[in-house]
Amino acid sequence: MDDIVSLLGLSLKTKDPILIRYGEMVLDQFARKTDSDINDRLLRQLIMEYAVVERELSDAMGKLTEANLALSLLSSQDGLTGLSNRRRFDEFLGAEWLRARREGWQISLLIGDIDHFKLFNDHYGHQGGDDCLKQVAGVIGKAAQRPTDLAARYGEEEFALVLAQTPLEGALVAAREIAAKLAAMRLPHAESPTAPCVTLSMGIACMTPTAAIDSGELIKQADLALYAAKRNGRNRVETAASIS
């Protein structure tokens, strides 16, 4: 009898329709018999089966949770580089922009482009190009050191680095560290008219968000700074403030 009461209580606690139904089956078996003819062996068998069902359901729910987490990660991650993808970048920047506006913080955005990447691909092939992208992504990814930072693959050979709560000077430090680490790797680029190794052109914009502007303006300003870096010889960093 105690086992049956425990079984009923467990069924109600789980709120799972399968377990509740199983509990009802056990109680139905109990209701069909009088106290004198309850088949203890049958009841114990049903309770054991119930425990097996509960364990299997728990295992299945755990696997489903893991699968959902993996799917969520895949939907926000660039398949080649492992960085966040453009979709995740847009979501993250939008959320950090609103938070910065609420708190009165500055937010910086760096957009970098591998110099003469098409020439690199033509010379080393697509596999060589993919390897190059992954190595550059590794350098940029390490610059995102805080929960409020995000490194993302922004385009084919473009990368973005969101630096929340970061003034222009802090973003410049990050850009120079990226350039120095990439230079130290000396990835060969035989076809580059800029340098014998892979280099980056980078543009930086920094703003304190207001209700009058949205995050698209930050992207626009960082893009303009990137174009200025390319126009002024590549393998360099320009800021929106310096070209305005």
How does pLDDT run across 127-137, given as a tens digit for each residue?
999 999 999 99
**Of residues 178 and 36, more confidently modeled:** 178
Confidence of residue 55 (pLDDT cuts 50, 70, 90): confident
* 119/225 Cα distance (integer angstroms): 23
Tokens representing residue 210 in the block: 């207001």
Res 102: pLDDT: 96
- How many CB atoms sit inside 10 A of residue 21's CB? 11
Domain ranges of the chain: 2-76, 86-243
Q: What is the pLDDT of residues 197-228, one digit of tens each?
A: 999 999 999 999 999 999 999 999 999 999 99
Res 47: pLDDT: 72
Q: What is the pLDDT of residues 142-180, one digit of tens each?
A: 999 999 999 999 999 999 999 999 999 999 999 999 999
Parallel, antiparallel, or unpaired for β 237-239 and 200-207?
A: parallel
What residue type is assigned to position 230 of the chain? K
The percent of residues above 90 in pLDDT, for the chain, comes to: 68
Kindly report the pTM of this predicted structure.
0.72
Task: Decide if pLDDT at 71 tops 70.
Answer: no
Task: Decide if pLDDT at 40 tops 60.
Answer: yes
Res 37: pLDDT: 52
Res 9: pLDDT: 54
Helix, strand or coil, per DSSP, at residue 81 = coil
* 168/206 Cα distance (integer angstroms): 6
Which CATH architecture does the domain made up of 86-243 adopt? 2-Layer Sandwich (3.30)
Please state the length of the chain.
Answer: 244
**Of residues 234 and 50, more confidently modeled:** 234
Res 48: pLDDT: 76
